[in-house]
Amino acid sequence: MRFAIEVIVLLVVLGLIWRYLGSYLTAVFMGRVHFLDWIELPLLGLLGIQPGAEQSWRRYLRSLLVFSFVSLVLTYLLLALQGHLPLNPEHLGDVTPSLAFNTAVSFVTNTDWQNYAGGTTMSYLSQMVALATQNFVSAAVGLAVAIAVIRGFARKRSNTLGNFWIDTIRGVFYVLLPVSIVMTLVFVWQGAPQTLLGPAHIHDVLNGVHQTILRGPVASQEVIKQLGTNGGGFFNANSAHPFENPTGFTNFLEIVLLLCVPVALTYTFGKMVGNIKEGVAVLMAMIILFAGTFAFTLAAEKGGNPAVRAAGITSIRGNMVGKESRFGVDNSVLFNVASTQTSTGSVNSSADSYTPIGGLGMLAGMMYGEVSPGGIGSGMYTILIFAILTVFIAGLMVGRTPEYVRKKIQKTEIIWASIGVLVMPITVLVLTAITVALPDGRAAILNHGPHGFSEILYAFTSQGNNNGSAFAGISSNTGYFNITGAIAMLIGRFGVIIPVLALAGSLAAKEEVPVTAGTFLTATPMFTGLLVGVILLIGALNFFPAVALGPIAEAVSHGRFF
Amino acid sequence: MATSVRTKGVAGSKPLFDRDILSAAIRSSFVKLDPRVQVRNPVMFVVYLGTVVTLVASIIHTSLFSWMVTIVLAFTVLFANFAEAMAEGRGKAQADTLRRTRTETEARRLGPDDIEEVVPANQLKTGDLVVCEANDVIPSDGEIVDGVASVDESAITGESAPVIREAGGDRSSVTGGTMVLSDRIVIKITATPGNSFLDRMISLVEGANRKKTPNEVALSILLIALTVIFVPVVVSLEYFAHFSHTGIAIVTLVALLVCLIPTTIGALLSAIGIAGMDRMVQKNVLAMSGRAVEAAGDVSTLLLDKTGTITFGNRMASRFVGVGGTSNEEMARVARLASMADETPEGRSIVVLAKNEYGIRDNEVGTDYEFVPFSATTRMSGVNINDTQIRKGATEAVKRWVVDQGGEVPSEVDDLTKEIANAGSTPLVVAQNKRVLGVVELKDVVKPGIKERFAQLRKMGIRTVMITGDNPLTAAAIASEAGVDDYLAEATPERKLELIKEEQEGGKLVAMTGDGTNDAPALAQADVGVAMNSGTVAAKEAGNMVDLDSSPTKLIEIVEVGKQLLITRGALTTFSIANDLAKYFAIIPALFIAAYPQLKVLNIMHLHSPITAILSAVIFNALIIIVLIPLALRGVKFRPAAAGEIIRRNVFIYGVGGVILPFVGIKLIDILLTVTRLY
């Protein structure tokens, strides 16, 4: 009952955020808000950019790639040299090159896959300057791409998609920073530490033990971790750690934070293309996918461990292995499903300890391509690719050249949309296949049989979708996993951004098609249904064999391989 | 000389599975096994390569199963070839008929000083002048520069009634291969050898230079993507299986790959395109490009000529009104008398109306009847019976005639004629001696059923615009009666062109028909420009379709064929992709049941064994191609309706049906394989 109320409150809060944040995002990216000109204009001046300057899709993409490359190099250097840099009260050494590379790629691509234990590997400087900065800017990059793609639909006969630098700066200063500053205070109030004093050393006289309690600028990291759908925790235990996620209230806030921008973007999309209902249709598809996956996972976890059940032991609280008793099954599942479906990857319970079918629920959210609602920006632009494929296949059945939001979908769009959809599954499947085939890969797995297979599949699915959620169970801080993981993350990020910007460029240049009674209307439940069907079908077709050998085989074997 | 007279146009009416076409198609299915042909269809090329792989595997590790798979895969390729060959075969049959009409003719070329010399037709160059007389076959396309002739065009149009062709005006073009029936004409050749209308028509119906249309190209790319993705899915599966301590035979992997890639639509795609062009030909429309056929489906504005399309073109009597004490019946009787000898459609319609309205039907014509024919100077016609003179004609003319005889015209007449003119009709005043008896209303009669047709079009999201030379008042009246969305009155070619450009400005696609040379710019500007075959060479060059029947209502049918083509493609694509779900449920448990026996829960169809499961899936995959060939050739049935309605129906049939049908089909094949104890 309490949980039902929580879900209702969550829906109401998200509904309000959808409406008002969506509206605010529209105003920010249409350049109608100016209260931060005093920050924006000097920054643009520094970069040598005229306010209001526009870029073609190629220029937009080039700026994005240059920016990401520079970010990658800087982050790598900061990590690799952290032992020689200040703000390192624990005197942690340099991060090894392969780990530094993997981590730099991970944060630049908004993945936040962590092949390291947060609190004991990264100095404060690394956390704050290298990683937290990327948490902000990589999120802003995703947001910028989504906005550029929406502009592709909204504009007609236009050669430009906006300006990457302006969009990114606006995303950081108008959206991410203000929310982060306010919410950090709330987290501090709730008990999350925010200090540069280094770990606390406690000598427990009574028991005669010496304790070191890790702390640091946690609250500020935590908010952007969720808001930017990053997911990289300050501590290894991520949001299960009481310093990261002190109370039930912060747990609720964290869920809201990670869903808010991806959800609000559907409003922005509808607003910018001139019909809110177009955004609603997409939002509804996201909600159906999310709700279905959540219900599926929850049912599995409520049912408890099949092996335990088979032994005749019933558990009224469901599968509590690897879950915080303060959150219980309900809130653990809600958090983890929300986090895997937003490409955040933060967890408040151990994914590896979920039941096989529960694990499949989390895996599924990523396998559809992170669209429900997906990562910040990336969810929006990815679901638009699926929308294009949906109208192309189903829209033909009304007897007209398919159109989406008044734009004809033709050869160029299909080329880029196909690439955008193919890149992720190919990357995931090929890397998983190579890994299970190589002794290096197999050696890293702790478990054998289908569970071990699931661990590898999960690792590459998570990285290929820039999620960063970890099933754990594999020792992935090895040269092999650091490099292959980085490849998966780079392809998963830029392998989609490049075609999607090309797609947007082609759409922006097009003439609008007038809507008539002969048009396949996309602001309808019919379209939502078809979109969900196409996303599920493409996901299922790509991953069904792999999933059959992993979680499904494990589940039907009733824990024989646990 | 074989100008066979057919009644149903170029296409004739071949049954879908004509015996000759069938046997030619079967032969052609094998010829198309040439890898150079196969590589053009990437989806089927993958099946082709897969067949080679399973063949090699079968030879190395021979087993009944691997041979069965190889044979089924080979048939999958053959079925795809057969589908394409069937579509092409129908076109070829038509082309052969046309080719028979293109006999080696000799032309009488007119040299300088009007000296005739006989040369073979294929040596004619553009600009040459040739002479044709009765029973001469016109050697090549051209324009009449001198003379009038009746021409038998049945070779091209299938219409056996001769048509009149004359120098100057919009009926000056003649087509090579047609025959002059009477008189003598001098023709200026306009086509280069081998590039005449007939040549182009043959290559069109044959599909010899068929280019993929834009939407077809886009769809092919999607199909390639859906093929490419399944290669890593299947290849990675080999490693996944190995990790799970089980192996998958190469034959099985190939079978899985073939089942998953969109072979159904891949096999039928080109047949659908060819059949679409073919359906146009059957409607006696020659589309110069597939692009135009597709554009027809996208059209959102139709420009329709009033005369012939919306109205019959002839004004017809619709009402008798008596004035100055004359009853309407009396008025009808007199008007009828005046029209008894009038053979114009208007005159005949007066006689018909008098009979229908008042039952006046006595046919006897007295010996003292003296008919006065219509002349351009008097603008009246009528009859004199002894002293009684009856006249009917244009208002002003009759009024003057009455006044000249000392009669008076009541003001009632002016009011009445004005009222009739305002309603878009034409008043015809009838007078007897010095007295005006009344007025006949001649109406531009709108074709029955046309209003419903426009309502259907509106439902489909297509706007109709009536084009007419009438004044705005008349145009408005007819437009509202016919139910068109808009009209262009006092239309000139320039205003027509402007209108098209305006519509296109908003992203709309415009279709129109035209026949005159002055229509050429508008025809070229329109997205779908249908030139009448009876029209001028310039019009035919400018448009992207030619209507051999020269029927103004053809535009509506053209739009439907275009839509049907796209719908068929979409429906079969949806069906093809939806099929995959069932195939997974057949094959995946079969593959892994050795490694994880518990995975049998996924075998929801309860297929007999892994081997029958895989065989059933590939057999279903092959047979469904054959089953769908008639649908691909005929096209999905198109009923005009709003987009929402069409999509609901098609998603239900081809989407939901596409998910369910293979479950049933695969199960049935599995039962058959089990019952026959093949396995």
Block means of pLDDT (10 residues each) for chain A, 562 residues, are 92 97 97 93 93 94 97 95 87 90 94 82 87 94 97 95 96 96 94 86 81 86 92 85 91 95 97 96 97 94 78 77 86 93 89 87 91 94 96 89 92 96 95 90 76 90 91 80 94 96 96 87 94 93 91 76 40
- Whether the CB-CB separation of A305 and A554 falls below 8 Å is answered with no
Contact B580 A450 (CB under 8 A): no
For the residues B401-429, what does the mean pLDDT come to? 86
Considering only CB atoms, A517 lies closest to which of B224, B459, B598, namely B459
Res. B8 pLDDT band, cuts 50 70 90: very low
How many CB atoms within 10 Å of residue B16? Answer: 13
The answer to whether the Cα torsion of A489, A491, A492, A495 is positive or negative is positive
Whole-angstrom Cα distance, residue B223 to residue B276?
20
Q: What residues have CB less than 8 Å from A431, skipping those under 6 apart?
A: A460, A464, A484, A487, A488
Instruction: Check pLDDT > 60 for residue B600.
Output: yes
Contact B219 A396 (CB under 8 A): yes
Considering only CB atoms, B643 lies closest to which of A414, A433, A518, namely A518
In chain B, residues with a C-beta closer than 8 Å to the C-beta of A442 are 243
Res. B104 pLDDT band, cuts 50 70 90: low
Q: What residues have CB less than 8 Å from A119, skipping those under 6 apart?
A: A214, A216, A234, A235, A236
Contact A397 B651 (CB under 8 A): yes
Question: A271 vs A26, B334, B590, CA distance in Å?
Answer: 7, 71, 50
A420: closest CA of chain B, how far (Å): 10
For A419, which residue in chain B has the nearest alpha carbon? B225
Q: Is B305 considered catalytic here?
A: yes
- Whether the CB-CB separation of B643 and A521 falls below 8 Å is answered with yes
Identify the residue with better confidence: A3 or B506: A3
Q: What angle do CA A140, A141, A143 make, to 5 degrees?
A: 60
Q: What residues have CB less than 8 Å from B364, skipping those under 6 apart?
A: none
Whole-angstrom Cα distance, residue B73 to residue B77?
7
Return the pLDDT at B11. 44
Contact A410 B215 (CB under 8 A): yes
A520: closest CA of chain B, how far (Å): 6
Could you list the beta-strand ranges (E) of B38-191. Answer: 106-110, 116-120, 129-133, 142-146, 148-152, 163-166, 173-174, 179-182, 184-189
What are the beta bridge partners of residue A213?
A200
Considering only CB atoms, A436 lies closest to which of B239, B569, B654, namely B239
How many CB atoms within 10 Å of residue B158? Answer: 20
Phi then psi for A352, rounded to 5 degrees? Answer: -65, -25
For A445, which residue in chain B has the nearest alpha carbon? B243
**Bridging pattern class, strands B163-166 and B179-182:** unpaired
Return the pLDDT at A145. 97
In chain B, residues with a C-beta closer than 8 Å to the C-beta of A540 are 581, 584
A133: closest CA of chain B, how far (Å): 36
Contact B297 A450 (CB under 8 A): no
Return the pLDDT at A265. 97
In chain A, residues with a C-beta closer than 8 Å to the C-beta of B463 are 516
Contact A453 B592 (CB under 8 A): no
Instruction: Check pLDDT > 80 for residue B15.
Output: no
Return the pLDDT at B7. 35
**Domain residue limits, chain A:** 35-263
B74: closest CA of chain A, how far (Å): 24
B599: closest CA of chain A, how far (Å): 6
In chain B, residues with a C-beta closer than 8 Å to the C-beta of A542 are 229, 233
Q: Which of B226, B236, B579 to mutate to test the interface with A (most CBs of A within 10 A)?
A: B236
Q: What tens digit of pLDDT does each residue of B122-179 get?
A: 788 888 889 988 888 888 888 888 888 888 887 777 666 778 888 877 778 888 888 8
Return the pLDDT at B9. 44
Contact A518 B300 (CB under 8 A): yes
Q: Which of B240, B528, B568 to mutate to test the interface with A (most CBs of A within 10 A)?
A: B240
Counted across chains A and B, CB pairs separated by less than 8 A come out at: 210
Contact B588 A512 (CB under 8 A): no
Whole-angstrom Cα distance, residue A156 to residue A507?
8
Catalytic residue among B136, B152, B305, B470: B305
In chain A, residues with a C-beta closer than 8 Å to the C-beta of B298 are 400-401
Q: Which of A400, A435, A507 to mutate to test the interface with B (most CBs of B within 10 A)?
A: A400
In chain B, residues with a C-beta closer than 8 Å to the C-beta of A455 are none
For A451, which residue in chain B has the nearest alpha carbon? B244
Return the pLDDT at B101. 64
For A457, which residue in chain B has the nearest alpha carbon? B240
How many CB atoms within 10 Å of residue B64? Answer: 12
Identify the residue with better confidence: A396 or B209: A396
B551: closest CA of chain A, how far (Å): 24
A552: closest CA of chain B, how far (Å): 8
Q: What tens digit of pLDDT does each residue of B270-329 get?
A: 899 888 888 888 888 888 877 888 889 889 899 988 877 788 767 888 889 888 888 888
Considering only CB atoms, B461 lies closest to which of A419, A436, A517, namely A517
- Whether the CB-CB separation of B244 and A453 falls below 8 Å is answered with yes
In chain B, residues with a C-beta closer than 8 Å to the C-beta of A558 are 598
Return the pLDDT at B287. 84
Contact B244 A541 (CB under 8 A): no
In chain B, residues with a C-beta closer than 8 Å to the C-beta of A430 are 232, 236
Which stretch of A23-32, B325-334, B339-348 has the lowest confidence by average pLDDT? B339-348
Q: What tens digit of pLDDT does each residue of B53-86 get?
A: 999 999 998 899 999 999 999 999 999 999 999 9
DSSP-derived 3-state class of residue B596: coil
Contact A418 B222 (CB under 8 A): yes
For B230, which residue in chain A has the nearest alpha carbon? A542
Give, to the nearest 10 degrees, the angle between helix A218-227 and helix A248-273. Answer: 40
Contact B297 A401 (CB under 8 A): yes
